[in-house]
Chain A
Amino acid sequence: MKIKLARWLSGGIPPVLPLLMAGTLLALFATVALSLNQAIYYYNPEINVNNYASLKVEFDKNLRVAGGYEFQPFSEIDTFEKFISEKKSGLLLLSSWHFTLLRKKLAIEPLLVGRVGDKSTYRKVLVGNKSMTNLEKLRGATIATAGSKRFSRNMLKAMLGEENSDIADSVIFLVAPKDIDALLAMQFGLAQAALGSEMALNAVGEINNRFRDSINILLKSDELLLQIVAGFGQQGLNEKVMISIMEKFGGSKEGGNALQMIGLDGFTKIGKTEMDILDR
């Protein structure tokens, strides 16, 4: 190489191979520099499954290949909010309920919404055992839920409406890891009612006929948006690349598997209909 370089410096043929190599290396460094410490930060108060290690492995596998990005899950809301409040910009993956709360404190912009099949919305349901024949009976009752206590009380208040919202203050929550656990905990007598997604309720009902015969559906929530990818601060090239990666995530088998670990099939761009639901 030394000989070729000397010949080029002295007016000979330019050493194409070394130049190409140097160029490739420079491009590689630029990509690494751009994407260093670039992550999408995840927190979801609606489920309590401690699967963070596996989530990180599955998401990182796809994000790293696509551009050296990474997935950073959080298990506690305070740590998550403190962490992002100290950052100037970034991308978040969070529940739509949390998004509406967080946007009161932080200038965040919704970019993508999760989907299951072709739907971007879901409903929460409150089911009771057979003794729960009316809402008054909920007063002081134990409700099994997979959500955090704060999320569950807030959701229950919205479902009960203003006239009955005081009932939500009287209930005791039994926090289970996932919706199915919460529904089954009610079935075997640990709670008088359970709060979960309509999807989980249908799944358990289809499988377990004893469960199906032992419940009353007490309340259904309005349509809620599935999880959201949101951006905050100045969106640079990295964020734009990452959004594009997330949008295509469900397209590959491996990306699809990672998304299914958070209960989604894919993402779509937020449209007017979704914005209306968020602003409601």
Chain B
Amino acid sequence: MKKAMGLLLIVFSLSLYGGTQSSHGKILILNSDKSVEKYALVEKAFRADIDGEISTLDLGLKFIDYGKVAEEILVEDPDLIFCIGSKAYLLAHKFGGKRNIVFALALNWRRFELTDRTYGISHELNRLSELTMYRYLFPGLSSVGVVYGPKFSEEAVERMVEDGKAVGVKVVRLPITGHEELVTALTIVAGRTDALVLIPDPVALADKKSAITIFEKLDKARIPVFAYDRLFFKYGALLSISPDIPTVGRQAARLAKNVLSGKKIDMKIEYPAGSRISLDVNKTTEYGVELNSMALSSVNEIIR
């Protein structure tokens, strides 16, 4: 009871503090878990691109004592909190008072409660830039399939269809409601399109079984799968395009500088300005996919 009262008092004082801060540029980095490589990398890139007083609280080091996090925010008294990962954002949102927040690498940021002081770098790439990259790597590509749950991804897929028109790629929409419809949808992908674009959709990728079904079925049909994370190479992806982590760190630093200097922010949530590409070149040969060899200079990782 005493502990809860103490925590309430801290949160109350944080709200007061946050509301009356002058902007002197002090930054607190809340890192969800520094031992995760990409979280450490984004912090390194952020720090390299910004000056001033910066401290870090690594939330991966300990069991989360909410009172302690709130206390540390109060002690550090930052003008801006840079949150790496969803856990960090949720805590900063809860205990940060009216302080400015910049987030990065938060996979489910669209489900966050955002305020007028929330800024960030989204975790997904702009679909038009992804589609441009597909066509750049594979000039013969003319259609792709997308399997998704309409409840979660309808809007994103609709935008993708429109973006596809700008790059001459027909996006074939395949809405499903469960695993039973997945196999039918994959048969259509195999019969009517040149590739499947995998999106982080909880219906299409409900579990490991769904992932295995997708890759096995399309491998038999020699249809490549373009993934959004390199972890899908273990299942048989031909390509993965994901945000370039150091670029995300640099963007977050630029955004933080602009917020702290009071500059007008036109775009509160930015797309990542760079991509990281991994490509299985053996699979391109195996599937008979035409590869633009000059585009190899854009590939970060060749998998053989």
Contact of B132 among A47, A48, A211, A261 (CB under 8 A): A211
Bound CA–CA A20/B209 (angstroms): 61
Name the interface residues of A144-189: CB closer than 8 Å to any CB of B.
144, 172, 174-178, 180-182, 184-185, 187-189
Stretch touching chain B among A35-43, A62-70, A92-100, A201-209: A201-209
Nearest neighbor of A179 in chain B, beta-carbon distance: B298
Bound CA–CA A261/B295 (angstroms): 8
Task: Verify A188–B126 contact, CB threshold 8 A.
Answer: yes
Task: Verify A261–B296 contact, CB threshold 8 A.
Answer: yes
Stretch touching chain A among B65-73, B200-208, B217-225, B246-254: B246-254
Task: Verify B297–A49 contact, CB threshold 8 A.
Answer: yes
The reply to whether the CB of B128 lies closer than 8 angstroms to some CB of chain A is yes
Task: Verify B294–A263 contact, CB threshold 8 A.
Answer: yes
Q: Which residues of A contact B293 (CB under 8 A)?
A: 256-257, 260
Q: Which residues of B contact A51 (CB under 8 A)?
A: 299-302
Bound CA–CA A159/B301 (angstroms): 33
Task: Verify A57–B302 contact, CB threshold 8 A.
Answer: yes
Contact of B301 among A53, A177, A207, A209 (CB under 8 A): A53
Nearest neighbor of B278 in chain A, beta-carbon distance: A54
Bound CA–CA A184/B134 (angstroms): 14
Task: Verify B274–A178 contact, CB threshold 8 A.
Answer: yes
Task: Verify B244–A177 contact, CB threshold 8 A.
Answer: yes
Bound CA–CA A185/B251 (angstroms): 11
Name the interface residues of B109-138: CB closer than 8 Å to any CB of A.
126, 128-129, 132-133, 135-136
Task: Verify B296–A208 contact, CB threshold 8 A.
Answer: no
The reply to whether the CB of B266 lies closer than 8 angstroms to some CB of chain A is yes
Nearest neighbor of B281 in chain A, beta-carbon distance: A257
Nearest neighbor of B271 in chain A, beta-carbon distance: A188
Q: Which residues of B contact A49 (CB under 8 A)?
A: 297-300
Q: Which residues of B contact A203 (CB under 8 A)?
A: 136
Q: Which residues of B contact A191 (CB under 8 A)?
A: 273
Task: Verify B276–A208 contact, CB threshold 8 A.
Answer: no
Q: Which residues of A contact B302 (CB under 8 A)?
A: 51, 54, 57-58, 261
Task: Verify A189–B266 contact, CB threshold 8 A.
Answer: yes
The reply to whether the CB of B100 lies closer than 8 angstroms to some CB of chain A is no
Q: List 26 A-B contacts (CB under 8 A).
A: A49-B299, A50-B300, A51-B299, A51-B300, A51-B302, A54-B302, A174-B250, A174-B251, A174-B254, A174-B273, A176-B273, A178-B298, A180-B132, A180-B136, A184-B128, A184-B132, A185-B273, A188-B126, A188-B128, A191-B273, A204-B132, A208-B167, A257-B281, A260-B293, A261-B302, A263-B297
9 A-B pairs with least C-beta separation: A263-B297, A210-B166, A185-B273, A177-B274, A184-B129, A176-B274, A260-B296, A181-B274, A54-B302
Interface residues of B (CB under 8 A from A): 126, 128-129, 132-133, 135-136, 166-168, 244, 246-247, 250-251, 254, 266-267, 270-271, 273-276, 281, 293-294, 296-302
